[in-house]
Amino acid sequence: MKFKNPGAEFFVPDGMTGDAAISRTTHISISAHQDDIEIMAAAGILECFGRADKWFAGVVVTNGAGSPRDDLYADYTDEQMREVRKLEQKKAAFVGEYSFQTLLDYSSSEIKDPCGAGPVEDIKNILLAARPDVVYTHNLADKHDTHIGTAMKVIKAIREMPEDARPKAVYGCEVWRDLDWMNDADKIALDTSAHENLSMALLGVFDSQICGGKRYDLATQGRRRAHATYFASHGTDTTTGMNFAMDLTPLIKDVNLDPVEYLAGYIKRFHDEVISRVGKLK
């Protein structure tokens, strides 16, 4: 694979040739930052883990240079943090037995630039080579601008692909905003209950973030458990872990569908459901 940035990396944990690693991929997550994949796409990782017929791959678009730091990493420069975060993401790819891991090495400002063509081109080329069935990225209601920028780059990239090469499903997943507010009928509920030890290990390798004062490992597992219990009010739990996702597939099937209007539809349905419930019981 050839990428726009000279610092971009393509890593295959099991030593398979690049072409073979790409062609075997069935599920792929495209995230803004190192560790976003392990937070939002655990269902895909777990579905593929230990399988010969399904393979998960990861793509991180930013370089991690601006990460918060404390403790052991308090005095690290941006360049040192960039290298630490690359290494942590490769560790996660090895633990999760990813088919491949790509680090595109863009700055956050490049990802947030609506006119930035480089990330779109890189993402499109990866997807055209891999032809995954499922793509996981950030949801459109996330409160982190770089996450939204990444999701928009993914949507633009897929829209530029031939229709027969596009993935079957694109899911916008939770990181910096839960999706429990969405109406149940609108949620994609992703089961994350299998291999809880693996999920913890995947998040635990990002030591620079945990030492930096962000217990993503505990918080993510807590959110998944909470979703599993609070998802249904009148039924027993059917799983011990759950992530919610927003279905972005309509946005890549209809290239004229406005992402803003599409997101507004979810918000309006939530608004209408809440108002209706209170109105009938007041």
The domain segmentation of the chain, as residue ranges, is 9-281
For residue 218, CA distances in Å to 8, 233, 261, 275 come to: 30, 24, 35, 34
Asked if 59 contacts 167 with a C-beta cutoff of 8 angstroms, the reply is no
Counting Cβ atoms within 10 Å, is residue 278 exposed (0-12), middle (13-18) or buried (19+)?
exposed
Asked if 201 contacts 168 with a C-beta cutoff of 8 angstroms, the reply is no
* Number of residues that make up the chain: 282
Counting Cβ atoms within 10 Å, is residue 36 exposed (0-12), middle (13-18) or buried (19+)?
buried
pLDDT given at position 243: 96
Instruction: Report the C-alpha gap between 32 and 199 in whole angstroms.
Output: 19
Backbone angles phi, psi at 210, to 5 degrees: -70, -45
pLDDT given at position 73: 79
pLDDT given at position 211: 84
Instruction: Report the C-alpha gap between 246 and 174 in whole angstroms.
Output: 9
Instruction: Report the C-alpha gap between 5 and 7 in whole angstroms.
Output: 5
Angle between helices 216-230 and 196-204 (to 10 degrees): 150
> What residue ranges of the chain have pLDDT lower than 50?
none
pLDDT given at position 70: 75
Q: Tokens 């240079």 — which residue?
A: 65
Question: 9-281 — its CATH code?
Answer: 3.40.50.10320
pLDDT given at position 132: 98
